[in-house]
Structure 1
């Protein structure tokens, strides 16, 4: 019962109540009708010619026994038909009532279904703007107000978290820059240092580079909302520019870059869309097999531009295909450290896509490679 929807629960309970009422009424009517029929049958069986009763029936004596037997059979048949019709009526009334209850309860629960659809649209990216409709039935209106207050609190918490990350990253930039400068000066002033010290300096500089990249990405993510998104962007030239910029990295990793892009345009932030495509292609190069390829395609599907970045890497496990868009998540932590990743590249890609009214998903993934699909709204024709 607990797995049934509320509409089906109301329907079944209503049908059960009506069935019980019909059964009780049917038993009462059957009992009353049968009692009357039996009384009439008993009167006929006990009637004797010449009785003082006012009713007089002139029947020949030799036909009396046959008449009484026939009359008893007719009474029995009438009771059977009466009972059968009563139970048929009970079944029909129960089924019709259940159907009426189903449709009536569905109409009564329609506001709840609308609230459920609105609630399904709420996620961490739209939590600040999506609110449930409070102008509805009193009980559901109270539920909507409660949920909206909860969403306001969550949106405020997310905003405070975003501000904290941005402020912390901003404050970390200065000491990191000072440390990096001091290490570079130390290396220049001590060219003849021993191998152990040189290894230590090299390791410190690598970790500082990782921290600097992390801080830079955190700052970008915290400031996304404030970036202007009014640029007219030609997507095909943008992809070509990114592939040109990443050609040295691809050659270093023995990866070939391919593209097949339609001439499509959109309105948004040129810098952010550049970063979105750059991160996807860079990941395709880094997490690929030697001698592999990264293919970028761009085509129009309905009213959206669909950008696909396909690589020939080892693929992403099925249980990680949603988590990879969460901050600091890594499929292979040891390899990510080796590549210098901080676990924010795909999180930033998702933030940028959602900010422009689009989305990003893992369209397919296997041991032969992975394809990321990004949908972005096309520019409306003037």
Structure 2
């Protein structure tokens, strides 16, 4: 029944009831205080009698007349002051109680708005198809819930269309790029005595084709992430060790020291995808480090979650870029990234995989002495 009453009418009725209750309480308390003050004056009346309903005679002995006038005047002044003080106390008390009651009942009336805000905060790209706002609510929020649910459906369809387009485009590009790469390699094998200028041109074309091929492979991986099962039981410590072993040649080439720290934490997810997360983050930490620097991978269990930290001793990331680095194709140092062969999708792929596992990834801290990337993942269950 309460859901049929709009929020506007709820607030109107509650305000009217509160004002009425405050006025009644104020009148009763002031009447009680005034009656007490008047009763305090009765002690000065020695004797009184009434001859009819219209007249009342008060008799005071002559010897008490002077004292009566003096004491009565003083008592009247005291009762006036007392009545005024009590009136202010009553007003303050009734106002305070009214405010408390108004706060409590307004919270009840606006509870659907708070629930609506909490539900919308849980919406993200991964939960568009699963999240639905309740439509069995007050009149103001019923239409809003229906509109938001419709918007979520359209957004889910748009994201699906985007992923499908990305996958289809990558599939279409993969074959011609493979053919181009094969033809270039064949041409290089058949023309070993080519001029220096032709050799440079051929090498440049091979590098660009390889870069485009790497981009296509990453796009295909990102479009197919949701089809990868995430039910493996994973021990993070052995996985970290495997990543460090695989990246040791690159670290030695750049003069970087790799270390492992922390404890072993078990979780449920995709072994292949989480390996890719650790590999990409560690590879970035090695590439964008100082010569002779270090990279440390640590795993801890914090607040029921696996906390994976990748620390490097690089030049750091400016504060305005710390959120942008996880966006596709974003580069802090474009010339350096291209020189290292990156396609600008490594950290975007990391963020997508972490989201699929119900976790988060962010720059925990960064300064001139290095950067720490923090990945948190739920422990003990599949996302």
What's the TM-score bracket when you normalise by the shorter of the two chains? 0.7 to 0.9
**Deviation at 1:166?**
1.2
**Deviation at 1:313?**
0.8
Structure 2 residue ranges without an equivalent (≥5): 1-6, 39-53
Is 1:259 aligned to residue 264 of structure 2? no
Q: Which residue of 1 aligns with 2:133?
A: 132
Whether the 8 Å CA contact 1:288–1:314 is kept in 2: the answer is yes
Distance in 2 separating the partners of 1:195 and 1:220? 37
Distance in 2 separating the partners of 1:361 and 1:191? 49
1:70-96 deviations in Å (ceiling 9; x for gaps): 655554554444344333322221111
Q: Which residue of 1 aligns with 2:151?
A: 150
Change (3 A) 1:57 1:346: closer
Q: Which residue of 2 aligns with 1:195?
A: 196
**Deviation at 1:368?**
1.2
Distance in 1 separating the partners of 2:60 and 2:83? 29
**Deviation at 1:343?**
1.5
1:18-65 deviations in Å (ceiling 9; x for gaps): 59x86xx88xx99xx9xxx9xxxxxxxxxxxxxxx9555556789868
**Deviation at 1:283?**
0.5
Is 1:99 aligned to residue 124 of structure 2? no
Q: Which residue of 2 aligns with 1:297?
A: 298
Q: Which residue of 2 aligns with 1:237?
A: 238
Q: Which stretch shows the higher mean deviation, 320-329 or 123-132?
A: 123-132
Change (3 A) 1:58 1:312: closer
Q: Which residue of 1 aligns with 2:347?
A: 346
The 3-state SS of whatever aligns with 2:100 is: helix
TM-score, length-scaled by structure 2: 0.79
1:179-206 deviations in Å (ceiling 9; x for gaps): 2222222222332333222222222222
TM-score, length-scaled by structure 1: 0.79
Distance in 1 separating the partners of 2:59 and 2:293? 112
What number of residue pairs does the alignment pair up?
A: 349
Change (3 A) 1:54 1:162: closer
Change (3 A) 1:55 1:111: closer
**Deviation at 1:229?**
2.0
The 3-state SS of whatever aligns with 2:295 is: strand
Q: Which residue of 2 aligns with 1:86?
A: 87
Change (3 A) 1:379 1:83: closer
Q: How does 1:150-229 map to 2 (within 5 A)?
A: 150-229=151-230
Distance in 1 separating the partners of 2:176 and 2:246? 30
1:270-290 deviations in Å (ceiling 9; x for gaps): 221121111011111111101
Whether the 8 Å CA contact 1:314–1:367 is kept in 2: the answer is yes
Q: Which residue of 2 aligns with 1:282?
A: 283
Structure 1 residue ranges without an equivalent (≥5): 1-5, 38-52
Q: Which residue of 1 aligns with 2:317?
A: 316
**Deviation at 1:66?**
7.2
**Deviation at 1:137?**
3.9
1:88-121 deviations in Å (ceiling 9; x for gaps): 3222211110011111111222232222122112
Change (3 A) 1:261 1:98: closer
Q: Which residue of 2 aligns with 1:49?
A: none
Whether the 8 Å CA contact 1:296–1:308 is kept in 2: the answer is yes
1:295-321 deviations in Å (ceiling 9; x for gaps): 112233353332221111111122222
1:232-255 deviations in Å (ceiling 9; x for gaps): 333333222222221221111111
